[in-house]
Structure 1
Amino acid sequence: MSSPETQAHDAVDLIRTKRDGGRLTGDQIRWLINAYTAGGVAEEQMSAMTMAVLLCGMDREEISHWTTAMINTGERMDFSSLRQADGSRRLTADKHSTGGVGDKITLPLAPLVASYGVPVPQLSGRGLGHTGGTLDKLESIPGWQAALSNQQVLDQLDSIGAVICAAGSGLAPADKKLYALRDVTGTVESIPMIAASIMSKKIAEGTDALVLDVKVGSGAFMKTAAEAAELARTMVALGTDVGVRTTALLTEMNTPLGKTAGNAVEVEESLEVLAGGGPEDVVELTVALAAEMLAGVGITDVDPAENLRNGKAMDTWRAMISAQQGDPDAALPKPKHEHVITAAESGTLSKLDAFAVGIAAWRLGAGRARKEDPVQAAAGVRIHAKPGDEVTAGTPLLTLQTDEAERIDRAEQALAEAVEITQQAAFSAPELISARITAQDL
């Protein structure tokens, strides 16, 4: 650790600058991130800095420097060796969701886009709290492995075109350390740091085109459209500034996506989509995001729904699962216990709160409170009616699934205010996709 006399900057001076509403230079930010990652800036000092950023914000240039500094603390993946038959480089496309309930979109989306010849390096995470994790869902498939080396990722992209796996520890290690700090200091909500956290890993991943699915609503991290739009614009700017073609869709998350929330149940629903069926909202969002990803690499003359209908996306899915030691034909885990919640009255279902359903799935064992907690593959919630559906008193609304019967009561408590039924005939569901943000909107 450098002595104060030999340090390029002083952490306290930088904290004061940001605390008082000033701007940090690129050199100051690079020093701060590098010194913090190496242990030269104390945890309490970085805690003060993150609170100053939460309260005073950062401008576009500062956020760009902050993100780049985090990327440069680790490795960058390189997919430039992926080639077409004519020798030209194959451009890659990726998607990131800010997290929601029933958000299984990555599962059908990655093989769908890859079925058009576009490699999809989808580095995904695990669930925490009420939001599910893509890796947890896929691990309900017998044999499937989340951990791949960089060479394995590259080989699978070259041969199959799609990979969904855990991000390696070498990508943006500063983010891992900083995220843990923000989590215990009440600074998670800082939009500049949320954006830098997400984009540092996505840019380090080396993708050419990136589509952001920014959720808004009760089950999302961003509760209002204004917050979601600010986060989307910030991330689109970060991608644009480093040459990644980046777009964002703002999508509705007051109601869970599809008719399942959990692990194996979401894989099951994803397979329905890949087979040409599945819930309308899941299909709509999968196709919309696929169109954005394909457009990002210059493919605009296809309808992605076609490869769901003709089986090509399913073929890619089966190859992708098999390549990661999974058995695409194996039966998915079934829960030991089920509990059905029925409609208290007849009428039109006008509300099914996404946050409450997410908490219920978490309490049933589908999610975790701490990163090291195990999850149950078979736990989750099946949804039998969505807002706008007519329901009859006594008919099933939700089925709770778990391997531990003692979890059911607390899950049911989470759903006490989740459902509303109206006698008014007219019901207008909100648009699934409320806005599209591109570099031209900045």
Structure 2
Amino acid sequence: MTRPAADPDPAPTAAPVHHQILIVGGGTAGITVAARLRRAGLRDIALLDPAETHWYQPLWTLVGGGQAPLRAALRPQAEVIPPGVRWLRERASAVDPVARTVTTATGRVYSYGRLVLAPGLSLDWDGVPGLASAVGHDGVSSNYRADLAPYTWDLIRRTRRGTAVFTMPSGPVKCGGAPQKIAYLAADYWRKRGVLGAIRTVLVLPESTLFKVPVFSRALEETARRYGIEVRLQSEMTRLNGAERTAVITDHATGRTETLHYDMLHAVPPQRAPQWLADGPLADPGSPHGYVKADRHTLQHPDFPEVFVLGDVAHLPTSKTGAAVRKQAPVVVANLLAGLRGRPAAARYDGYTSCPLVTARNKMLLAEFDYDLRPTPSFPFLDTTKERTDMWFLKRYGLPQMYFQGMLKGRA
């Protein structure tokens, strides 16, 4: 097979370059949709993304927990872009849905027949005062950056006493279970090393429960009790002082604040849509984070039906996970093809998402649910509401294979 054509050094042009299908974003959602469209026989597909490396981000938690090497989570971008898809190595900077054009950071303009928006979201390190300058050294790390996940593991291994703080911001974030998972992995490691009793572990979450689905919330409450973790609900870190190693925790239910001294801290930054989308005409006015408006079932933009939205940037009432993309991509492709054939959008997305909740170094709960928070298990013959070793092996080995060999090739 021939490798994807690429524009390595594009120059601005006066007239827009047209493509039947233009996909913005070369992450999980963009590559999966591109692969499915190619398998459906479409030829004029362009994918806009400057990244040279493709990351399987769900593995970063296990990297931070010492259970996987970072190299297992990456592939060269050129290897995962489907053959026959034109790779435009540029960054989008604006979209005009009336003119049906996307402008890049270099000033080049592309026009489209159909647009698929899947650029992912932006990590707002400045959203918590003090976080941007503190992260990456002096005991502060985050598995939400690939280069910092190994540092998380270094901190966990070196911690023998003191206070460990794990935080999650308010607002939608990708992989909403990740802020908890690393706390459980750390506590389990410390338990096995015999030092857990000397470490005060504090988990700070903005929600009113550990998990929105009650059966999984109860299981995680038991996990937290087992490790002696102090859970601060309806709370978040609102300020960080890296030099003093202190974090201000605000309880949103009471308005009270508390300053915690930490020896290690794992932070999750606030997240939002890329600024060019948040400030543009496709953003949902109902989203304070700038996420893009989308029909929750057809995944079309309600005002511009030739625009499809999926992945983390879509303003949908479900968790932002790769598992959600696995169900969204077939719906986008089916409805896009239907539109090209003059038919109505009939495919429906029910809000399915999945959170593999690692609770120990070889145990996991698999939380699967839909828009109505109803459990939707893929393995009805297994009780995935209980901690299971086979589910951990699925997380560590099975899902990465399904991702690289299935999803990104349009097969799963």
TM-score range, shorter chain: under 0.3
TM-score (norm 2): 0.25
TM-score (norm 1): 0.23
Whose helix proportion is higher, 1 or 2? 1
